[in-house]
Chain A
Amino acid sequence: MERRLTGSANNAMIRKRYRREARFKAYTITALFVAFGIIAAFFTDIIGQGHSAFWRTEVQVTLDYNERAERIGRFALAEDMREIVSRGAVRSIPLEIRNNPELAGIQREIWAPAYSRIDQYRKGNEALSPELAAQVEQLEREGRIRTTFNWAFFTSGDSKLPELAGIFSAAVGSLMVLAVTLAFAFPIGVMAAIYLEEFAPDNKLTQAIEVNINNLAAVPSIIFGLLGLAVFINTFGVPRSSALVGGLTLGLMTLPIIIISTRAALRSVPDPIRLGGFAMGCSRWQVVRDHVMPLSLPGILTGTIIGLAQAMGETAPLIIVGMIAYIPEAPSSIFESATVLPAQVFTWASEPRKAFVEKTGAGIMVLLAILLTLNATAVLLRRKFERRW
């Protein structure tokens, strides 16, 4: 204070400063609660959008394996049901009859998935024409329409018919991509980290590698997509859209994350452990292999899981290497066209049809559940094995 204040003026000044103090603290708390509020709103919104996709409407119908149904499956349905039952449910009837000729001419009752508009209507998302709405009402009264858990969402691949679309093929693709990423980035990342932390002399080359790794970790992911396109696809001829090219691209992206976290884990092992090993006559590699590595393994695994979780949520580089193809069937090898969970979410999100909005939400819920589990595992692993030396 430049001036010396006395008495009540001084008190007023102090009160003002205390008010300012309270105000500033309130700002910081508000900021934090705004962030929390956003997180809460975000999860509520996603769950609100997606939860209904875990349920689906089924209708009890009589399938009539008549002559016309041998050519076009839809004719197996009574005429008034053709607008109600999913086209996908009866598509395979001609094939069925061809494979089992004894089916011809018989009738049987099944619960078939409803057409997506009926499903959306019952979930309150879409309006129907009055006639159809009345018909649904009628079925409802007869107990011939029901809501069941949508297992098909987990067991079937993508489909152009929203009521049949599922995440299975994308999940298989994600697993394949992650397997390639892990097989590529884990050994190389851990080896590079061991070199830098335990073997490397402090020279220009080592410094260059270090600066380089740190910068690589901050390169935008889409640039890795351009790299994958130019190098893996164009130069090395890896098939476009395959899990192999996706996995390698993400592997390059994950590599610096694994290197950095492995180095931190190695660094946390105190030097006396190493010196003890040397004193017993171990070579450097023996010390690393038998003493440093086992002690830092939880840290290394934690970092790897976090890196993989990041790779699993990545979409942009995979779009660049073509992994947004329409994949109804799960790929059977890493050379085939595949898609991954986030890319599936992206594909569904760009569908104009309303029924796909809930699919997108549900896909996101599955993806977030997997990622949160992975990250929680990493945190628990760290808590359980973290040692203070």
Chain B
Amino acid sequence: MGIGLTTLLLIAALTPLGFLAYRLGRGKALATVASGVRMHSRPQQYGWYSVVWMGIPALGIAIAAALLSLLGVIAPARELVLIVSIAVGLLGFAYGLKAIRPEVRARNALDNVVRYLLLSAALISIITTVSIVLSILFESMRFFREVSVWEFVTGTVWSPGDTFLEAAGRGDEVGEGTSFFGTVPLFAGTFMVTAIAMATALPIGLLSAIFMSEYATPRQRGIAKPILEILAGIPTVVYGFFAAVTVTPIIVDIASFFGLDASYSNILSPGIVMGIMIIPFISSLSDDVINSIPQSLREGAYALGTTHSETIKQVILPASLPGVISAFLLGVSRALGETMIVVMAAGVRPNLTWNPLEDMTTVTVSIVYSLTGDLAFDSPMTLSAFALGLVLFTVTLLLNLVSTYLVRRFKQKYD
């Protein structure tokens, strides 16, 4: 019996049972009320009360069995699970019906059931985070058993390619130490692309935000803001195409005009395009922050005779600095984790350079390239993706935490 069929049979059995439980439970309550006895809750609540007594234990058993077999602890026969769960459902059905009495607080019991159902949904988010951390940590530890942490952090050569032979089961043909997992060039590339992106996004985003919140009329603002937000809705794969097909050739042409030699997978082009992608984050966050500066600060400055721009530069911006920094950090965290733009427009060759016209590769590119194609989950190349992911996750998490902290401090000060 397949898992789909079992689920289908279970639902097919429990649905009419639930319907019956509701009708009978409500009927019993209605009869009690008709006989002149006051009941605590409404009749339909007693109906739902018996549905809960029927359904929850039965589903609980089915779900527990499914989880146990998925995790490979024990794998009970599906027929057995089906029969036991329906039997438990019937028992619960009988008990629930019998338990309906005037003094039973069905309404309160239902509220509690609902509360715990909702709580379990909220816990899924915690489970997600925990499983992200655990899965990445677990695979990274397997990686660090084969590659030393020191080499990973300080090595300047990244060439996991030779482990390909190992993954193909020809490990003995490879001499020792032919694959290198030094991440310095990858982080250099990521740093470079992030720096270029922020150098593009920060001035444009911040100045646009200043215009929208300080100079624009409500009408201009109502037009400008949604237009800027179009940028946030464009998929990254589209930006990647734009960078690779349009921006890169332009950059190469401009560079050759000045007599410079630019690579066709130079890091400048994905950096600039990534900056374009980040503009709306910077502008809308800064806009919010500048708007929440109390009007009294502005008026105080005007009263001292400052011009509008002097007020902005000497009062508003310093006051909103924590918020702007937080927007900046969020932008950095997005740039670090951005994948498609660099996969499509940046190089794959690890390269340690200061020249943005050369090709460089990034952490996310290496993750993608080590996980596409045939996967062998015991090769260091595949596992290296998880080690890189661990670093990426930790860094972005820290940036987000600092950024939220700064915003909260800012809000406390002015709200």
Q: Which residues of A approach B to under 8 Å, CB–CB?
A: 17-18, 20-21, 23-25, 27-32, 34-36, 38-39, 42, 45-46, 49, 187-189, 191-192, 194-196, 199-200, 208-209, 212-216, 218-227, 229-231, 234-237, 252, 255-256, 259, 283-285, 309, 312-316, 319-320, 322, 324, 342-343, 345-346, 349-350, 357, 360-361, 364, 367-368, 371-372, 375, 379
Produce 1/0 per residue, B350-365, CB < 8 A to A.
Answer: 0000000000000010
CA distance A379 to B309 in the complex (A): 33
- Partner of A32 from the list B131, B136, B211 (CB cut-off 8 Å) is B211
The yes or no answer to B103 lying at the interface (CB within 8 A) is: no
Q: How far is the CB of B342 from chain A (nearest CB, A)?
A: 10
CA distance A23 to B215 in the complex (A): 13
CA distance A158 to B307 in the complex (A): 61
Produce 1/0 per residue, B209-220, CB < 8 A to A.
Answer: 011101100000
The yes or no answer to B204 lying at the interface (CB within 8 A) is: yes
- Partner of B237 from the list A25, A256, A284, A313 (CB cut-off 8 Å) is A313
Cross-chain contact B115 with A195 (CB below 8 angstroms): yes
Q: How far is the CB of A105 from chain B (nearest CB, A)?
A: 48
The yes or no answer to B99 lying at the interface (CB within 8 A) is: no
The residues of B that contact A316 with a CB separation of less than 8 Å are 236, 339-340, 343, 364, 368
Q: How far is the CB of B394 from chain A (nearest CB, A)?
A: 10
The residues of B that contact A259 with a CB separation of less than 8 Å are 125
The residues of B that contact A189 with a CB separation of less than 8 Å are 121
Q: Which residues of B approach A to under 8 Å, CB–CB?
A: 70-71, 107-108, 110-111, 114-115, 117-119, 121-126, 128-129, 131-132, 135-136, 138-139, 203-204, 206-208, 210-212, 214-215, 224, 226-228, 230-231, 233-238, 240-242, 244-246, 276, 279, 283, 307-310, 312-313, 330, 333-334, 336-340, 343-344, 364, 367-368, 371-372, 377, 385-386, 389, 392-393, 396-397, 400-401, 404
Cross-chain contact B111 with A35 (CB below 8 angstroms): no
Closest to A284 in B: B111
Q: How far is the CB of B233 from chain A (nearest CB, A)?
A: 5
The residues of B that contact A372 with a CB separation of less than 8 Å are 230, 233
Cross-chain contact B129 with A220 (CB below 8 angstroms): no
How many A-B Cβ pairs are below 8 Å?
A: 255
Closest to A367 in B: B235
| Given A32-B208, A285-B111; A375-B246 close (CB under 8 Å) | no
- 16 examples of A-B residue contacts, CB within 8 angstroms: A25-B309, A31-B208, A35-B231, A36-B227, A192-B125, A195-B118, A195-B122, A209-B123, A213-B125, A215-B129, A218-B333, A220-B339, A224-B132, A226-B386, A349-B241, A371-B235
CA distance A194 to B111 in the complex (A): 13
CA distance A237 to B75 in the complex (A): 15
The residues of A that contact B279 with a CB separation of less than 8 Å are 35
Cross-chain contact B400 with A218 (CB below 8 angstroms): yes
CA distance A236 to B68 in the complex (A): 11
Closest to B400 in A: A218
| Given A195-B122, A285-B111; A235-B242 close (CB under 8 Å) | no
- Partner of A368 from the list B215, B238, B377 (CB cut-off 8 Å) is B238
Cross-chain contact B131 with A227 (CB below 8 angstroms): yes
CA distance A209 to B392 in the complex (A): 22
Cross-chain contact A195 with B245 (CB below 8 angstroms): no
Cross-chain contact B337 with A195 (CB below 8 angstroms): no
Cross-chain contact A196 with B136 (CB below 8 angstroms): no
- Partner of A346 from the list B237, B283, B392 (CB cut-off 8 Å) is B237
The residues of A that contact B339 with a CB separation of less than 8 Å are 220-222, 315-316, 319
Cross-chain contact B135 with A255 (CB below 8 angstroms): no
The residues of A that contact B337 with a CB separation of less than 8 Å are 219-223
CA distance A148 to B386 in the complex (A): 49
Cross-chain contact A345 with B238 (CB below 8 angstroms): yes
Cross-chain contact A349 with B309 (CB below 8 angstroms): no
CA distance A79 to B69 in the complex (A): 63
| Given A24-B312, A28-B208, A283-B107; A223-B121 close (CB under 8 Å) | no
Query: At the interface, is chain B mostly helix, strand, loop or mixed?
Result: helix
Q: How far is the CB of A213 from chain B (nearest CB, A)?
A: 5
The residues of B that contact A35 with a CB separation of less than 8 Å are 204, 208, 228, 231, 279, 283
The residues of B that contact A36 with a CB separation of less than 8 Å are 227
The residues of A that contact B228 with a CB separation of less than 8 Å are 32, 35
Cross-chain contact A252 with B371 (CB below 8 angstroms): no
The residues of B that contact A223 with a CB separation of less than 8 Å are 132, 136, 337, 389, 392-393, 396
CA distance A332 to B212 in the complex (A): 49
Cross-chain contact B237 with A345 (CB below 8 angstroms): yes
The residues of A that contact B283 with a CB separation of less than 8 Å are 35
New A-B contacts (5) at CB < 8 Å, excluding given A17-B310, A20-B310, A218-B330: A24-B313, A28-B208, A222-B339, A223-B389, A322-B372
The residues of B that contact A195 with a CB separation of less than 8 Å are 115, 118-119, 121-122
A-B pairs, 5 with minimum CB distance: A220-B337, A313-B235, A31-B207, A195-B118, A230-B135
CA distance A256 to B214 in the complex (A): 32
Cross-chain contact B308 with A214 (CB below 8 angstroms): no
Q: How far is the CB of B139 from chain A (nearest CB, A)?
A: 6
Closest to B397 in A: A215
Cross-chain contact A285 with B372 (CB below 8 angstroms): no
The residues of B that contact A237 with a CB separation of less than 8 Å are 70
The residues of B that contact A284 with a CB separation of less than 8 Å are 111, 115
The residues of A that contact B371 with a CB separation of less than 8 Å are 225, 229, 319-320
- Partner of A226 from the list B115, B135, B307, B401 (CB cut-off 8 Å) is B135
CA distance A131 to B182 in the complex (A): 55
Cross-chain contact A191 with B121 (CB below 8 angstroms): yes
Cross-chain contact B386 with A230 (CB below 8 angstroms): yes
| Given A25-B309, A221-B339; A32-B207 close (CB under 8 Å) | yes
- Partner of A324 from the list B129, B139, B372 (CB cut-off 8 Å) is B372
CA distance A119 to B330 in the complex (A): 46
The residues of A that contact B238 with a CB separation of less than 8 Å are 46, 313, 342, 345, 364, 367-368
The residues of A that contact B310 with a CB separation of less than 8 Å are 17, 20-21
| Given A200-B122, A283-B108, A349-B241; A226-B211 close (CB under 8 Å) | no
Interface centre among A196, A223, A284, A320 (most CB of B within 10 A): A223
- Partner of B114 from the list A24, A285, A368 (CB cut-off 8 Å) is A285
Cross-chain contact A309 with B233 (CB below 8 angstroms): yes
The residues of A that contact B119 with a CB separation of less than 8 Å are 195, 199-200
The residues of A that contact B211 with a CB separation of less than 8 Å are 25, 28-29, 31-32
CA distance A195 to B124 in the complex (A): 12
CA distance A372 to B129 in the complex (A): 31
Interface centre among B111, B215, B237, B333 (most CB of A within 10 A): B237
